[in-house]
Amino acid sequence: MPWRLYKHDDAGAPVLNGTRGSLIALLDACLVNGYGTKPAAGWSKAFADMNRAAFRMGSGRLRAYLRVDEANATVASEGRIQSFEEMATLDSVTNPVASSGHLVVKKSNATDATARQWWLGADDRTLVLFTHYDTSGIVSGTYFGEFYSYVPNDNFGLCLIARYWEGTNNWTANIEGIGMQAQGAYSAMNGHFIYRDAAGITKSPQ
pLDDT at position 172, please?
Answer: 45
pLDDT tens digits, the chain, 206 residues: what are they?
A: 799 999 999 999 999 999 999 999 999 999 999 999 999 999 999 999 999 999 999 998 889 999 999 999 888 999 999 999 999 999 999 999 986 667 889 899 899 999 999 999 999 999 999 999 887 777 888 999 999 999 988 989 999 998 887 655 444 444 555 655 555 555 667 788 999 999 999 999 98
Closest C-alpha to 45, from 25, 62, 22: 25
pLDDT at position 173, please?
Answer: 44
Q: 50 vs 17, 24, 144, 146, 192, CA distance in Å? A: 17, 10, 23, 28, 28
Give pTM, 2 decimals.
0.91
pLDDT at position 188, please?
Answer: 67
φ, ψ of residue 128 to 5 degrees: the values are -130, 120
Does residue 33 contact residue 42 with C-beta atoms inside 8 Å? no
Q: Could you give the residue ranges of the DSSP H alpha helices within 30-128?
A: none
